Structure 1
Amino acid sequence: MRNAQYRRLLRRDDGDDELNCGDGGGADTFFGLRVASVFIILVGSMFGALFPVLARRSKWLKVPTSVYDFAKYFGSGVIIATAFIHLLDPAIEELGSPCLDPKWGDYPYALAFALLSIFSIFIVEIIAFRWGSAKLASIGASHDPHGHGLGGHASHGPETANQAVDEEKLRDDSASVLVHNPTGFVVDSAATKILGIAILEFGVLLHSVLIGLTLAVDEDFKVLFVVIVFHQTFEGLGVGSRLAYMDLPRKYSYVPIIGALLYGITTPIGIAVGLGIRSTYNPESTTASIVSGILDAISAGILIYTGLVELLAHEFLFNKEMMDGSNGKLIYAIGCMLFGCGIMALLGKWA
């Protein structure tokens, strides 16, 4: 998308094209293939997001744990590269469009919106964790966000009445999940888990809809189409692997599937909408540049925060299993992450 805009600007500089900042229409070539792209990308996106979720739940499909680990760490790299290469950089270009008032160039608005997004997500999560901790305290448990157990009650002697946790009550509580590990019992609020994945999904879905709209009307359709097929599949694997590893009460077991389905349909919906308004929608117009630039910047902030804090920090720095594990395991995980980041960053050359 970004490179296509550069090529159009170069043509304008050569006098071959005129700057069109109005409502005009987008390209209408390869209409049949554009329609087919709705279904092709739907299949790729659905496969990427749903396969990890369904495979982990399947009793007959025995997928090795190493495959899930690869998808999880690969997906983390994909999400981080998406934030910087596919969202933040295009946002800077869109809000620097020659169609915009020169005042938009007086301040780095794209970076400001991304910064606002990062701190907004941080504040929302702080509030959510405080609410979850208060709820757990009300039933006699304490919560360590780094996964170090409940109130230090683990295996150093008999528990007092105040330290004992009613495990059955926690298991039955639809707002919490009880997970056993070698250091004791860790309770995580299902609401905060759902909030975390919802934040990730929100950022990805905004991006996916904008991709679909652009693909429907962009004149460099063929190259963009091929790149987006891979882009959406890889990004789907990243989102799907996170959804697959959500430990939720049975009452919320549908949440990962709903999340995967939402991811799968957003880009096709964007393409369909773009095709429907192709005679009036101009992705280079003043309004489109402002709206897509702001949304891309906000999405970039969401994915930067999620990728660096929720994925990297929690998967590596705050993960006792990773810190105490073998060097080979750590190198493999980091290698998978860098591979995913590199592949998605490379796709940024064309889209």
Structure 2
Amino acid sequence: MFKRDVTDCSGDSQGDSLLGLRIASIFVIYIGSTCGALFPVLARRSKYMNVPKSLFDFAKFFGSGVIIATAFIHLLAPALDELGSPCLSEAWGEYPYALALCLLSIFSIFIIELVAFRWGTALLAKIGVHHDAHGHDTGSHAAHGPEGNLVTTTSKDVEALPSETINESVHEHTHRVSDSAVSQVIGVAILEFGVVLHSVLIGLTLAVNDSFKILFVVLVFHQTFEGLGIGSRLAYMNLPSRYNFVPIIGAVIYGFTTPIGIAVGLGLRTTYNPNSATASIVSGVLDSLSSGILIYTGLVELLAHEFLFNKEMMESSDAHLAYALGSMLLGCALMALLGKWA
């Protein structure tokens, strides 16, 4: 997020200039955000767009790098500035509240996920279904990773099984698919929640900031890259047919978030000052919590489970591994560079 002028604690509005361009930015950023998020989803489903798998892999790992850089450079760093603003009382400077809230967010997400998996696994065990939440029996992180594989039975195997065994196998497979789908939806929802908060806040700031032109240009790229990151995760969700609408809805929701923030900021431009103490506290707290969500999701759900716990990746060629790492580092580097201006 664009850094505030911490020396200005007045309540004066700063969003009256370039009103026409500020209104136009709603539509420009909406198009960039939506295209970035929807393209991977639609391209992977389309029979007419023969997009090479290597390009999808690039988008997926590039997006992971974008998300991790967003957490540190575009959320945690601004939160430290906002909650350390001289406009706040001295009590805010006596403790690193931004880091503490980020830590609280990380452990909260971890504990919620831990309890949810324990409860879900116990529930499945009662009905006789074995489920490895970490995908150790499938070679990848089935519950979180979009590439998680489910154990299936071939037609030849089915013919060789008794009818009772076939019914049990189908019953177990159904529960595995359902459990994996719900886990993936929850995981992506947590990821998108953190990104949505961030997007609304930067839209609000863009609507009233004095350095509008620079921030506008940077945010077009910022939101498109971030949309690509979200879209690549949505595109690789392995869901049953009845859940096929989820990735599209997720991409559409993301596209609306920053324009909504801009619209709200324009509506409040005569009263809202991003340098005020209240704005610094609200934005700093939300940025801190959002950074924790994205740090946990980026490092654990995306980075660790895409590389360390992914049997396919660990057994892949050195060239494929280098390509994946290079794509991720490129996304991280470009998003971190954008942090110089926004």
The TM-score normalised by the length of structure 2 is: 0.89
State the identity %.
Answer: 66
Q: Map Cα deviations across residues 104-143 of structure 1 (whole Å, 9 max, x no partner).
A: 0000000000000000000111122123312332343322
Indicate the residue corresponding to 2:128 in structure 1. Answer: 140
Q: How does 1:83-162 map to 2 (within 5 A)?
A: 83-149=71-137
What residue identity is the alignment partner of 1:55? A
Helix, strand or coil for the counterpart of 2:50?
Answer: coil
Structure 1: gaps spanning 5 or more residues: 13-18, 179-187
In structure 1, which of residues 312, 325, 341 is the aligned counterpart of residue 316 of structure 2? 325
Q: How does 1:107-256 map to 2 (within 5 A)?
A: 107-149=95-137, 166-170=168-172, 172-173=174-175, 176-177=176-177, 188-256=179-247
1:60 deviates by 1.7
Distance 1:109 1:322, change over 3 A: same
Helix, strand or coil for the counterpart of 2:177?
Answer: strand
Q: 2 CA distance for matches of 1:318 and 1:146?
A: 9
Q: 2 CA distance for matches of 1:63 and 1:273?
A: 38
Q: 1 CA distance for matches of 2:2 and 2:203?
A: 14
Contact 1:141 1:165 in 2 (8 A): no
Q: How does 1:247-286 map to 2 (within 5 A)?
A: 247-286=238-277
Q: Map Cα deviations across residues 286-338 of structure 1 (whole Å, 9 max, x no partner).
A: 11000000000000000000000000110000000111111111111011000
In structure 1, which of residues 284, 292, 295 is the aligned counterpart of residue 286 of structure 2? 295
Q: 1 CA distance for matches of 2:252 and 2:325?
A: 29
Correspondence 1:52 to 2:52? no
Distance 1:203 1:163, change over 3 A: farther
What residue identity is the alignment partner of 2:281? I
Q: 2 CA distance for matches of 1:55 and 1:276?
A: 36
What is the aligned-residue RMSD (CA, Å)?
2.4
In structure 2, which of residues 7, 19, 42 is the aligned counterpart of residue 31 of structure 1? 19
Q: 2 CA distance for matches of 1:97 and 1:349?
A: 19
In structure 1, which of residues 80, 83, 107 is the aligned counterpart of residue 68 of structure 2? 80
Q: 2 CA distance for matches of 1:141 and 1:165?
A: 13
Structure 2: gaps spanning 5 or more residues: 139-150, 154-159
Q: Map Cα deviations across residues 148-174 of structure 1 (whole Å, 9 max, x no partner).
A: 327xx999xx9999998834334545x
Q: 1 CA distance for matches of 2:243 and 2:265?
A: 34
Indicate the residue corresponding to 2:156 in structure 1. Answer: none
Correspondence 1:65 to 2:53? yes
Correspondence 1:312 to 2:303? yes
Aligned residues: 325
Distance 1:322 1:117, change over 3 A: same
Correspondence 1:43 to 2:34? no
Contact 2:29 2:220 in 1 (8 A): yes
Distance 1:328 1:268, change over 3 A: same
Distance 1:135 1:54, change over 3 A: farther
Q: 2 CA distance for matches of 1:101 and 1:45?
A: 37
What residue identity is the alignment partner of 1:93? D
Q: 1 CA distance for matches of 2:209 and 2:306?
A: 38
What residue identity is the alignment partner of 2:48? W
Q: Map Cα deviations across residues 179-210 of structure 1 (whole Å, 9 max, x no partner).
A: xxxxxxxxx53222111111001000000000
What residue identity is the alignment partner of 2:246? V
What residue identity is the alignment partner of 1:206? L
The TM-score normalised by the length of structure 1 is: 0.87
Q: How does 1:335-350 map to 2 (within 5 A)?
A: 335-350=326-341
Q: 2 CA distance for matches of 1:160 and 1:105?
A: 70
Helix, strand or coil for the counterpart of 1:147?
Answer: coil
Q: 2 CA distance for matches of 1:288 and 1:280?
A: 11
Distance 1:162 1:110, change over 3 A: farther
Q: 1 CA distance for matches of 2:46 and 2:126?
A: 36
Q: 1 CA distance for matches of 2:208 and 2:224?
A: 21
Indicate the residue corresponding to 1:16 in structure 2. Answer: none
1:350 deviates by 0.3
Distance 1:130 1:160, change over 3 A: farther
What residue identity is the alignment partner of 1:107? Y
Q: 1 CA distance for matches of 2:280 and 2:72?
A: 18
